[in-house]
Amino acid sequence: MTGIDTSSRVRTRPTFVDVYLDPILYVLAAFTLVMAFRNIATPLTDQHPDFVIFWDNLQWYAGGHDLYTAPPHWEEQGPNLAAPALLFLLAPLLPLPLELARAVWMAISIGLFALCSWWVARTFNVPTGRVFSLLVLSRATHLALIGGTFAAPLAAWMTRAWLDHRQGRDATAGVWIGIAIACKLLLLPCVGYAVLRRRWRMVSGIVCGMAATVAVGVAVGGIENTALWIRTLRGLERGTIDYPINASLMAWLARTPAEWTTVQAWWLCGSLLIGMGLLWRWLHRDDDAAWSATISGSLLASPLGWVYYTPLLVGPFVGARSALLWAGYALCALPLELVVPRAVVASTLLKLTVGSAYFFGVLLLFVGSVIPKHDAIRHGEARR
């Protein structure tokens, strides 16, 4: 998205992008969405989407149990890591058959991604279809759709927060951020951003948003389910996070042959470096790059930084111009399972390089946000 023209001037004649590139993007995006819906026809036993985990636990809860201990739908199924408030977003779909409910949730997610694209396109005066096409063409977004994840509502909340922040509505922005943090704790570094920049109205909004979301989860699901969710997060193991679609630093380290304690030690050191990079960015400028760095740094530092959460970056990303950001987007857009056969990822070396393309994509997004291109140009001009 880095090459998007963000000029606010009125064009008098169509450009090459308008005439040739946009139609190609629209066709490719339509094909991608059709393939996403076709994926629903594939047997669930061959897909293992997260939506089934959420659905089974909601059905388990409706039967008088908790939200996190439903019997597994398939062998070696991962735990339910969604917050109670997120799970209850699916509650209205419970009367539907599983396949239909999944299709409806996919349609809702597409609508939310389209809404994010409209907000961003209106901000930078570019066609909504162009932003939406580049968003859905990313494999990260495709994984969010076919997996039935909660990436779309999170992207809508964070994009709305970014836009309100740009328009000087820090309190409202904070509320949206607080809602997102209460549902995905990996976004906690956003609190550090607000505090360090002394945006106290944003801090108060974050507190209110978090408190309200947690209160909803407790009121509907009880304090026991909230406590069980926290215990589930604390019980993460190597086999839960080392999947190629996990773009976090810990997931990359977990793919090495090192002992688990060694992996955790190196992860702490790496998280410290990520935190230093964020501090440097926050202290130097308060702009879209700071937002992009905060979100991408959060994905890197959290053990649960799945690549399908990169659409949360769509707002600050569209307004940026950086080759590193464009390279990061390209890696996150890569259909990794088609490029890297299973026999290749069996090799430790290739698993840590080619098979970790999503990790390197988010890493480039972070580095490109911490050291934006315009900063380097400005410093070079100052030396001259």
Q: What is the pLDDT of residues 102-127, one digit of tens each?
A: 999 999 999 999 999 999 999 999 99
Quote the pLDDT of residue 335. Answer: 87
- Rounded to 10°, the helix 288-301/260-284 angle is 170
pLDDT bracket for residue 340 (50, 70, 90): low
Q: Pick the closest to residue 111 from 66, 145, 74, 76 (CA basis).
A: 145
pLDDT bracket for residue 52 (50, 70, 90): very high
Quote the pLDDT of residue 373. Answer: 60
- Name 134's Cβ contacts closer than 8 Å, sequence gap at least 6: 1, 4, 25, 329
The single-letter code of the amino acid at 314 is V
pLDDT bracket for residue 320 (50, 70, 90): confident
Most confident of 124-128, 152-156, 221-225: 152-156
pLDDT score of 3 more than 60: no
Q: Pick the closest to residue 184 from 144, 134, 132 (CA basis).
A: 144
Q: Concatenate the DSSP letters of all residues of 119-145 into one string.
A: HHHHHHT--HHHHHHHHHTSHHHHHHH
Tokens 């911490």 locate to 370
pLDDT score of 2 more than 50: no
Quote the pLDDT of residue 187. Answer: 97
The single-letter code of the amino acid at 241 is I
pLDDT score of 358 more than 90: yes
Average pLDDT over residues 208-235: 93
pLDDT bracket for residue 166 (50, 70, 90): very high
Quote the pLDDT of residue 342. Answer: 57
Give CA–CA dist 164/210, Å, rounded: 17
pLDDT score of 262 more than 90: yes
Q: What is the largest CA-CA distance in the chain?
A: 71
Give CA–CA dist 212/179, Å, rounded: 8
Distance (Å) of CA 211 to CA 54, 181, 217, 218, 240: 23, 10, 10, 10, 29
Average pLDDT over residues 3-13: 48
Quote the pLDDT of residue 7. Answer: 45
Q: Pick the closest to residue 297 from 337, 328, 321 (CA basis).
A: 328
Distance (Å) of CA 94 to CA 62, 98, 102: 9, 8, 10
pLDDT bracket for residue 292 (50, 70, 90): very high
246 strand-pairing partners: 306
Quote the pLDDT of residue 178. Answer: 97
Identify whether the C-beta of residue 87 lies closer than 8 Å to the C-beta of residue 58: yes
Quote the pLDDT of residue 47. Answer: 78
Average pLDDT over residues 334-353: 73
pLDDT score of 367 more than 50: yes
Quote the pLDDT of residue 347. Answer: 77
- Name 33's Cβ contacts closer than 8 Å, sequence gap at least 6: 110, 136
pLDDT score of 4 more than 70: no
Query: What sign for the dihedral angle of Cα 175, 177, 178, 180?
Result: positive
Average pLDDT over residues 72-89: 90
pLDDT score of 1 more than 60: no
With pLDDT > 90 as the criterion, what percentage of the chain qualifies?
Answer: 71
Q: Pick the closest to residue 270 from 243, 240, 305, 239 (CA basis).
A: 305
